[in-house]
Chains A and B, each alone.
Chain A
Amino acid sequence: GNSVTQMEGPVTLSEEAFLTINCTYTATGYPSLFWYVQYPGEGLQLLLKATKADDKGSNKGFEATYRKETTSFHLEKGSVQVSDSAVYFCALKGGSNYKLTFGKGTLLTVNP
Chain B
Amino acid sequence: SAVISQKPSRDICQRGTSLTIQCQVDSQVTMMFWYRQQPGQSLTLIATANQGSEATYESGFVIDKFPISRPNLTFSTLTVSNMSPEDSSIYLCSVETGVRSIQYFGAGTRLSVL
Chain A positions near chain B (C-beta within 8 angstroms): 32, 34, 36, 42-46, 49, 51, 89, 93, 98-100, 102-105
Seed contacts A43-B92, A44-B92, A98-B31; 10 additional CB < 8 Å A-B pairs: A32-B100, A34-B102, A43-B107, A46-B104, A49-B100, A51-B100, A89-B42, A89-B43, A100-B43, A100-B45
Contacts of B108 in A (CB 8 A): 42-43
Separation of A44 and B91 alpha carbons in the complex (Å): 11
- Cβ B42 vs Cβ A104 within 8 A: yes
- Cβ B45 vs Cβ A99 within 8 A: yes
- Cβ B43 vs Cβ A43 within 8 A: no
B101 within 8 A of A: yes
- Cβ A103 vs Cβ B102 within 8 A: no
Interface of B is mostly: strand
Chain B positions near chain A (C-beta within 8 angstroms): 4, 6, 31, 41-43, 45, 48, 92, 94, 96, 100-108
- Cβ B105 vs Cβ A102 within 8 A: no
Min distance, Cβ B33 to any Cβ of chain A, angstroms? 8
Min distance, Cβ B61 to any Cβ of chain A, angstroms? 13
Interface of A is mostly: strand
Min distance, Cβ A33 to any Cβ of chain B, angstroms? 12
Min distance, Cβ A42 to any Cβ of chain B, angstroms? 6
Separation of A100 and B96 alpha carbons in the complex (Å): 10
Which A residue's beta carbon lies closest to that of B90? A43
Which B residue's beta carbon lies closest to that of A103? B42
Min distance, Cβ B4 to any Cβ of chain A, angstroms? 8
Take A51-B100, A98-B48, A98-B96 as given contacts and tell me if A44 and B105 are in contact as well, using a CB distance cutoff of 8 Å.
yes
Contacts of A98 in B (CB 8 A): 31, 48, 96, 101
Separation of A103 and B48 alpha carbons in the complex (Å): 20
Min distance, Cβ B108 to any Cβ of chain A, angstroms? 5
Which B residue's beta carbon lies closest to that of A107? B40
Separation of A32 and B100 alpha carbons in the complex (Å): 10
Identify A45's interface contact among B41, B96, B105, CB under 8 A. Answer: B105
